[in-house]
Structures are given as C-alpha cells and as structure tokens.
Amino acid sequence: MQHSSTRQVLVGALVALAVGVLLIGGVLRVARLTVVRGATEQNAVVTAASVSQVLAQVRAADGDLQAVARGLVDRLEDVDRIRVIDSGKRLLAASTDAADLTAGEVPRRLGREEKAWFDQAKELEANHRTNISEGNARKDEILRMAVAQSQLELVLPLFAGDTVDGSVQVLTSAVVPRVPGPRLLPLAVVAGAFLVLVALSVLLKGRWLFAGGLVLLVVGLWAFAALGLAGLAAVRHDVEAAIAHHALEVRDAVGLEAPGTTLDITAWNVDRFGAPRGTFDRAGTVATETVDAGLAEGGRRFGQAAGLLGVFALVIYYWVGAGWTVRTWQALRKHHTAYGFVLPAMIGMIVLVFFPFAYGVVLSFTNQTLYNVNQPLYDLWVGIDNYIDILSDVAVWHTGEDGSRIINFQNFYWTLGFTILWTVSNVSIGVSLGLILALILNTKNLAFRPFYRIILILPWAVPNYITALIWKGMFHRQFGVINQVIAMFGGEPIAWFDAWHTSFFAVLATNAWLSFPFMMVVSLGALQAISSDLYEAARVDGASRWQQFWFVTLPSIKPALVPAVILSVVWTFNMFNIIYLVSQGEPAGATEILITDAYKIAFEQYRYGYAAAYSVVIFLILMIYGVWQNRVTRATEGI
Amino acid sequence: MKTRILMLLAVMLTMVVLPAVAAAQTELVVWHAYRGKERTAFEAAVKAYNDAHAGKVTVNTLAVPYDAYADKISAAVPRGKGPDVFIYAQDRLGGWVEAGGTIEPIDFYLDQATIDRFIPTTLAAMEYQGNTYGLPMNYKVVTMIYNKALVKTPPRTSGELVKVAKSLTDVAAGRFGLAYSYGDFYYHSALMNAFGGGVFENGRDPKLDTPENIRSLELMMTWYDTDGILPAEPSSTLITSLFNQGKAAIVFSGPWFLSEIADDIDYGLATLPTIDEAGGAPMKPWMTVEGVYVAQPSQHKDEAFDFVLAITGLDAGKIMALQGRQTPANKLVYDDPEVAADPVLKAFRAQVEFAVPMPNFAEMTMVWSPATTAMNSIVRKTTSPSAGRGAEGRGWSGWRAWRK
C-alpha cells in the first residue's frame, strides 16, 4: 500500500465512483421503471377487477352480460375488449370482439381453437381453490398476457358466490401515471466528493490520501444511494395517489353503466394473487402507512443490493488505488505465453467446476423447491435463512414423557457427529488394516505373494454398490449369513438395523472391507521404496523390531501415507453408496451421514435451496479440515 | 464441382419436398418406460393407430429407461424439448402441475361418453385441484395371490385369513401362512384404507398419526407378533423365494409378482379379504394408474389428444390386456369375451373395485420417508403404533417450505 501514488489514488477513486454510480444508479433506474410499470399494470388491474365485479353481479341477477360488456367497453376509456368465459358450461358467455361474434352469436359453446380460454378459467378456479385451502396467497388469481407495448390483457376469475366458475378477459390500454423525472442532486453530491478528494491530494500523500479517499468514497456512494432511494419513495407515493384517482374515475364510469350494482374500489386494488393491497380506502384516500411499510421492505432489499455494489466499488478502488492493476498488467505481459497455455484449462474449469459451484452457492440463498422451480432465483431470495435453519437447531435430544432421553436423529449436529465418528473409525481401521497387511506382504521371500496380493485387492476391484448389496444381505435378520453363524453357535440373532450402534457396525464392516485395499497398496509401494540400508544400520545400532518400525518404517512411509489419509478422509466423509445402500439411514435416520441427508432433502423432499445450503455447509467443513490438515502435516510440501 | 452441384440439388429438393411432407403428416413423439411384453404390446397398439391414420398422423414411440424417466420429463418438457405425449404413473402428477409448463389440462376435450368408459377411480387419479390432466391407460393394484396346493378356498375375511394362515405356519421350518411387505407403507395402505385412514388432512396437509391409522397398524402387529403368521423383514426377493418354495401360502402383491412365480407353482388370485376388526370393511390397496398426458409445449395438441383417446380406447386396451398382460383402465375392455375368460385379468378387475388411487399430490413424497421410518420402528417394536409419532423430524415439515 505504501506504493500507492497520488495519481493512482485519484484514478482509483474516479473509476470506483463511476462504477458505483453506474451500478447503483442502474438499480435505481430499474426500480423506478418497475414502480411506474407496476402502477400502470395496477391501473389495468383496477379497471379489470371492476369489470369482473360488475359482470359477476349482472350474471347473478340474470342480466344481459353482452349488453353490459359492450356498455363497459364504451364507458371505460382504457378497456378495449371484454370476453366472458363460463367454464362450467364451456360457453363464451359474452364478447365484444367482432371476430368472436362472426363465429356465432353469444352465448355459444367454445370451439376447439378456443381451448386456451377455457383452460385459463379452469386454472384460475384451481388457483383460487389452492389459495383458500392452504390459507395463503401463492397461486396467481390474475393472469397477465402482454399483448403489445401499450396494451395488456388481464384474465380474472368470474365469481359465483365464493367459487370461481369462469373468467373475464379484459384487454386494456395502458394508463401510465405521470411522475417527476430523476433529480440531479445525488450526482452533484458524488461529484462534490471527488472534488474534495482532489483538494485533499494537495495536503495528503500515500496511505493517508488512500484512507481519505476511502472515507469520501463510502460517504459519497452512501449519499448517492440514500438520496436516490428518497426520490424513489416520493415517486411511489405519487403513483399510489394516481392509482386511487384512477379507481375513483372507473367507479364513476361503471356506476353510470350499471346503476344497480355494489361497487367497492378497495376490492379492485388487489395484487396478482388476488390479495387486497390496501393502499387506499373506499373514499380513495391513500393509506400512507401501508405504502410506507411496502417501501420499507423494498428499501431493505435495495439497501442489500446497493451495499453489495458499494463493496464491489471499494474493491475496484483498492485494486486500482493500491497499484494492483499495474502489477497485474505487468505480470500478464511478462508471462503471456504461460497464461496463454493455461487459458483453455481455465475456461474448462470455469465452465465445468466454478460455474456449477457458484450456482450451488447462489441456490443456497434461495428457497427454491419443487413448487417454484420455474421462478427466477431473484424472486426466491431468502438470504442466510437456510443456514440459520440448519445451524441453529441445537436440540439434539429432548426429554420424553417418561423422562427418558429421546435423540432427534434428524438433527444436523447428530448427523455431523455421526459423520465424524464414521469417518474417523473408517479411516483408522482402513489405515491400520492396510498397513498390517502391507507389512505382511512385504516380508522377504514370502511364498505365493502375487496370489495374496490379487486376493487382497479384489474387494477394491468389485464395484462398491455390488459389495454393499451383498453385505446388506448378509446382515438380514432371519436369512443373513451372519445371524445364521451366530445362531449356529447358539447365540440370539441380532436385528442389525434396529439400533444405531449395531447398524453403525454393519456399515463400518462393509466400508472397512472396501477401504483397506487402497491403504494396503499405498503402504506397500512406500514400504518397497525404503532402502534396506536403513534397517541394517538400525540393527547395527541395536534397535528392536518395534523400534525399527517406529523410527524407520513409519517416518519413511509418512510422505506417501499422509496424502492418502487426507484423500481417504474426504472420500469416507462423502461415502454415499455404503450408507445409502446398506443401512439406508436406519434406524430412523440415525446412521445418515451429511451427504446422504443432503441427497434426501434435495431428491426426496425436493427442497433444492435448503439442500444447496446443506451442501455448502459440508463443503465448508471439508475445506476447514483440509486447511487444518495441511497446516498440521505440511503434507503438500513433500509432493 | 460435380458433387457441389449434386449437393445443391439435394438441398433444393429437400426444401421443396420437406414442407409438403410436413403439411400432409403430423409426427407425434410419445415417451414411455415400458419394457418386455408391455413394450411389445404398447408398440403394437401404436402401430394399429398409425395404420388407421396413415398419411395423416405418425406416432413414434421412445422407450426411456425408467430410473431417469421422471427427471427427464421434469427437465425436458417445460423447455419444449420433450415429447408430445408421455406416459407416467399418477404419483408425479401434482408436482408437475405445480411446477407448471409440463402437462396440458384436458377437461375441455372430455365428454360424458369418454368419462363413462373408465373405471371411475382410475380417472379420479388423473385429477388435480379439480382439473383433469390425462386419461388413464392401465392400473396396477395389489391383490391376493395364493398357492392352490396349500389353500383350497381363498379366505374372504380377516378371521378366515388368520385361521388358514396359522394352520400353514411353521416358523421353525421357515413356513408362513401369509407373506407381504407389511413394513412397506405402500402395501400397508390396503389395511389403512380398510379402517378409513389416510395420510392427509385439510386437503393436502400430511398427517400420519390418526386413530384409524393406529388401529390398522395394531392389527398388522397382531398378525405379525401375536398370530405369528408373517416372516420378519420381508424383502420382495424373500417373499418371491418363499412363495416359489411353497413356504408362503398367501401373498399380497401386484401384477409384477406374477412374472416371478416359478412354473411349478399353481397359483390363484382372489380379492383381498374384508377386515372383521374394521367392521367387515374390505381391504383397499392404493393403486397406481399409468396416465397418458399431453405435453403442454406440444405443437400438435389436438392430434396428441386424439391419440390419447385412441390409446386408452377399447382396441388398444384389448391388445395391452391380452398381449402385454396389463390391466386397462377402460372398463369396456373387460366385456370382451377373451378378456373376460382370463382369470388373472378378471381378478384384478374385481380388486380394482376396492382400490383407492394413490394420492397424486407432490406432498406424498414427504410422506414416504417418515412413514417408512415409523413402520420400521413399529415392526421392530421400538415404538408402539399409538406412540409412533417420533417420525416427525426435521424433514416432516418440509412441505410447508414449498408453499411459501
């Protein structure tokens, strides 16, 4: 940082401010457009909902739907066409579209090419029923079909009492609320911040100037975002007033057309799920608190986004201001052939490894499930809720009615503890068994050595799911060979998968069988590389067999053994097949390990976001372990 | 140069000919997961359709390996890369409808004659939230299969069943009067439904520990524990080998079991018994119904539905019943003399009158794992049926997370 020159700091600050203003300003612009577009759509919804309310009342009173529909199109300036579908009778009940009427007088039966209209009505019916039965608003009760830039077609449910048995299609032309344009004040503040920095650069040098720039950058961008958000809030209040005004106009027009009907403008002000928005009352007065509450939620999301973008701007400032850009550029120029060679592999890694990984991490911050898999991730953002949910549940056991301790086997910490137990015991068994067998095979002049070696490697050669299924069969309570042997010696058969410790033993035995050949092969290779001079020297010095093993053999094979152990720990930690096939988590999920649990959450419960968070947690645990292991053993130095 | 001119000619020719062909003939792609005899029969039925519609519609079938089938549909169909029509059991229907963009609703096409030709429960399996999404083609249901050498007249009530089974059980010799996967919730459903139990309340909220379910589990435990007529840890391979060795007199299983029976076993089929403990109510197994669905992104929905109508019709049903040994959902098929004379088809047709379609809600996937866990701990007597509520762990409330 002491290398940063005044010029670098100023350039860095300028670039960072420009990037920050462009990005945060971009978000503000999108938000502003969204507010205006949302208000335009809401105007259309209000109009369409009024039409649907009136038509439902006309139908209930056996009035002339077609005549009222025509009248509404005439009276309401923003309504271009109305169609009424009766899904119960499969009728086109009314239509103001000339083309529809040439195909036959209304009401008439819907034709095959008009199936989509019928399906829309049935969809609204099902969605309304779902929302009612689940007691929340999840399914759309207003369908939006964008027709052209200035037109929007809305399909609303046609109610008969409390149930839906048809739909009303309303083609509306946009009523865009008028709002004041963006202000220049925020930009002026940012420019001022930069000018102050330029002035400062006369007084300060080096790291002090860098620090001053940092402060000005933070203050400048914060002020820019805050002023922009305030401007947005003003726009929002304006458009809500415009919507209320529009609703009053619609009421007057509709009232003229259908005098006998009850008209409630608050019932027209609904969101896409049919839930009331409550932003104005029956008299058309804007409910400021409701609007502000909505703004607070939007402001929080904007704050998160602006904060992230601000951090990004600060990173750029650091990168440029502290001279890293220059150094990066120099390194790229100096070693351009080397980077050229690495480039294809880097692209491959980015596409095949880093992108899926990053996608998984992003997914872990959403609540994507089977139900909302086709929605954009942005709409499903829940922040770190999944992580809190996973990590905060520390109640591993609770006390039952009779005072006994009942373990909740589904708890994350139980599963984590079990996974660690599983890993440690498996690797210990694998290493010791492998080492012992390697030592035996390494005996000089051992007869039939190649034969033994092949036999001992066989468990490794058989596909592990086949081995797993065979072992599962051997542990069967009534017909498994292990229980039959126990019974042969007069013992009671054991129900292996009934208690977690016997179930654990079963999976442990299976995995030990699978894991020792690898350790044996690794150890054997290392053993054969030890020079016999070392043993000779040890014997001359009077070392016992035990001392030879402890001071000569072990240190010599350590460089080969330690990476193998690290690998083996990671494999065993994520040894999916054995648990999934042999114990299947029995009893009651007690012998589930983290990776099988993550699989079940993703593909049995279809909670993709939650499962992604689970996987990220597994990744973090393994990463911490890997870093720690490297520190302790310095294993990578030997390679 | 010559080849280039030839290629150019070929390209021009295809440009002229291809649209003409496409205009004259619609090609439909159908995905299914049938194998063996069922596949042959299905393809024969499709061929009959193609012959009848020569020059207008050609249906091409694609057999997809079963284990990847559901995921393939979920991934391909909403993106418009899938078939026009696909066949799948009803259990995934709810999930596909909720995810959207997969299955076309077909209520619009249905008329009374079409509705009337199906066994009502099989058509009900195709409905979700009041809309119909497919037509049922075949159903699979569990029924009673017995060894004629051991059982002369199949028991009609649970009292008779226990009596017959007890007389044929000799645990020391590994002989059992009755064998079925009672620890498997799918098989247990027959008892559960007999007692009027179920797995959902308020529509689609999973709930397992209802009084009816507990009573059904208590009866199952009486059979296993007190009467001792059932083998321990009954895997499907174990049941097959017991039955084939003549060591299991009666088995509750479905059509998939029949192909595994050894040639020297003379077996009969009968409707599952009524349950005295449930006031004489019949056992009502869950059935799976293979539905034929029109894919929502299909460009030829009208033609696709015409095919769906034909393949679930009488002629196709006869081919699949007689050649594929399947059980069609079209009840008119059973009036055919050749089908009516077939004891196996007749037995399944009789059983389906007392079958309940397995719920097609996506929430069902949340039920299996806790239910299996609960069943296991009850069978192993680590919990009693009435206290079997420990299954409601973290995963149990997972369905709530879906509805946010």
Q: What is the pLDDT of residues A9-38, one digit of tens each?
A: 889 999 999 999 999 999 999 989 989 989
Q: Record the tokens describing residue A368, joined without a space.
A: 């994507």
Q: Is the pLDDT of residue A204 over 90?
A: no
**Per-residue model confidence (pLDDT) at position B3:** 58
**Closest CA–CA distance from residue A510 to any residue of chain B (Å):** 20
Closest CA to B176 of B184, B165, B186: B165
Asked whether A277 and A269 are in contact (CB, 8 A), the reply is: yes
**Per-residue model confidence (pLDDT) at position B66:** 87
Residue A607: its chain B contacts at CB < 8 A?
Answer: 398, 401-402
- What's the rounded mean pLDDT across residues B232-261? 90
pLDDT tens string A392-451 = 887 777 776 666 677 777 788 989 999 999 999 999 999 999 999 998 888 878 888 888
Residue A586: its chain B contacts at CB < 8 A?
Answer: 376
- What's the rounded mean pLDDT across residues B223-236? 87
Task: Sort strands B57-63 and B26-32 into parallel, antiparallel or unpaired.
Answer: parallel
| Chains A & B: contacts with CB separation below 8 Å | 119
Q: Is the pLDDT of residue A157 over 50?
A: yes
- What's the rounded mean pLDDT across residues B242-271? 92
Closest CA to B312 of B84, B110, B37, B118: B118
B93, B389, B394, B400, best to mutate vs chain A, most A CBs in 10 Å: B394
Q: Record the tokens describing residue A8, joined without a space.
A: 């670098």
Q: Is the pLDDT of residue A162 over 80?
A: yes
**Per-residue model confidence (pLDDT) at position B294:** 96
Residue A369: its chain B contacts at CB < 8 A?
Answer: 401-402
DSSP E strands in A101-246: the ranges are 108-109, 143-148, 151-160, 163-173
**Per-residue model confidence (pLDDT) at position B13:** 55
Task: Sort strands B286-294 and B356-357 into parallel, antiparallel or unpaired.
Answer: parallel
Asked whether A286 and A244 are in contact (CB, 8 A), the reply is: yes
Distance of CA A247 to the CA centre of its chain: 39
- What's the rounded mean pLDDT across residues A44-71? 92
Query: Is the model more confident about A370 or about B387?
Result: A370
CB contact under 8 A, B365 and A600: no
Helices marked H in B236-342: 236-244, 255-258, 301-311, 314-322, 337-340
**Per-residue model confidence (pLDDT) at position B395:** 47
- Rounded to whole angstroms, how far apart are CA atoms B257 and B239? 10
Residue type, A135: G
pLDDT bucket at A145, cuts 50 / 70 / 90: confident
Q: Record the tokens describing residue B326, joined without a space.
A: 């399947």
CB contact under 8 A, B395 and A410: yes
B77, B91, B97, B98, best to mutate vs chain A, most A CBs in 10 Å: B98
DSSP state of A96: -
Between the alpha carbon of residue B71 and those of residues B65, B82, B138, B395, the distances in Å are 11, 12, 22, 22
- Rounded to whole angstroms, how far apart are CA atoms A429 and A508? 9
- What's the rounded mean pLDDT across residues B37-66? 93
**N- to C-terminal Cα separation, chain B:** 66
Task: Sort strands B134-140 and B127-128 into parallel, antiparallel or unpaired.
Answer: unpaired
CB contact set of A471 (below 8 Å; sequence gap of 6+): A506, A509, A510, A513, A582
**Closest CA–CA distance from residue A621 to any residue of chain B (Å):** 21
- What's the rounded mean pLDDT across residues A109-116? 88
pLDDT tens string B318-335 = 999 999 999 999 999 999
Across the interface, which of B203, B235, B301 has its CB nearest the CB of A133?
B203
**Closest CA–CA distance from residue B175 to any residue of chain A (Å):** 13
- What's the rounded mean pLDDT across residues A189-216? 88
pLDDT tens string A224-245 = 999 999 999 999 999 999 999 9
For chain A, give the percent of residues with pLDDT over 70.
Answer: 98
pLDDT bucket at B388, cuts 50 / 70 / 90: very low
Residue B176: its chain A contacts at CB < 8 A?
Answer: none
ipTM exceeds 0.85: no
Residue B128: its chain A contacts at CB < 8 A?
Answer: 126
**Closest CA–CA distance from residue A10 to any residue of chain B (Å):** 48
Give the length of chain A.
639
Judge residue A442's burial from the number of C-beta atoms within 10 Å of its C-beta, 0-12 exposed, 13-18 middle, 19 or more buried.
middle
